[in-house]
Amino acid sequence: MFCYNVKLLCYNKTRGVSLSLNQNDNSILKKLTASARPMSAYDLLRALRDDERVRIKAPTQVYRSLEKLVEAGDVHRVSALNAFVACSCAHKGSPPGFLVCTACGMVNEFDAAGVLSVPRQRTGGFSVQTMNVELSGLCKKCQIKDLRK
């Protein structure tokens, strides 16, 4: 599945856009970095609401922070799952692509620079502003499980 409708997020990071992160932003970034799976805004709210040290109580606070983190390139939105992942920096200066396992929800980031060159070649200098590369399938672990069935 290919969709081209999300910002070239990690470009911001390499362009040196530095947004000052507040305590809420940092709490969310920490949660996402520690999580093995992508988390939705509500997963994050649930995980942080009960933490005494964090002052996040409402969905709008989570969305505001996520918007900022996505803008900064620290976090990516995975449209296929309507969830967020911390950037694992698998793409240096290039837009990220994602391999999404439809069985376990595992997401792996990869460098999607090769994909970006396609519209440039095909459309005579078309300037891409937003792009979203998400490939759905089965991760190695789930393929092995599938074979055992």
Q: Report the residue from 45, 47, 48, 101 that binds Zn ion according to the rule CB under 5 A.
A: 101
> With respect to Zn ion, which residue has the nearer C-beta, 103 or 118?
103
84 neighbors 39 (Cβ within 8 angstroms) = yes
The pair phi, psi for residue 95, each rounded to 5°, is -70, 150
Number of residues located near Zn ion, criterion CB under 5 A: 9
Tell me the HSE value of 56 on the side-chain side, using a 13 A CA sphere: 28
- In 8-95, the DSSP E strands lie at 75-78, 83-86
Among 66, 64, 70, 58, residue whose Cα is nearest residue 10: 70
Contact window for Zn ion (CB under 5 A) among 36-44, 59-67, 99-107, 115-123? 99-107
> With respect to Zn ion, which residue has the nearer C-beta, 25 or 61?
25
- Nearest distance, CB of residue 109 and Zn ion, angstroms: 5
110-149 residues near Zn ion, rule: CB under 5 A: 139, 142
Establish if 99 lies at the interface with Zn ion (CB under 5 A): no
Residue type, 18: S
Residues 6+ apart with CB under 8 A from 4: 128, 130, 131, 132, 133
> With respect to Zn ion, which residue has the nearer C-beta, 26 or 99?
99
Establish if 103 lies at the interface with Zn ion (CB under 5 A): yes
In this structure, what token pair is assigned to residue 94?
């290039």
57-96 residues near Zn ion, rule: CB under 5 A: 87, 96
Q: Residue numbers of the site for Zn ion (CB under 5 A)?
A: 10, 87, 96, 101, 103-104, 106, 139, 142
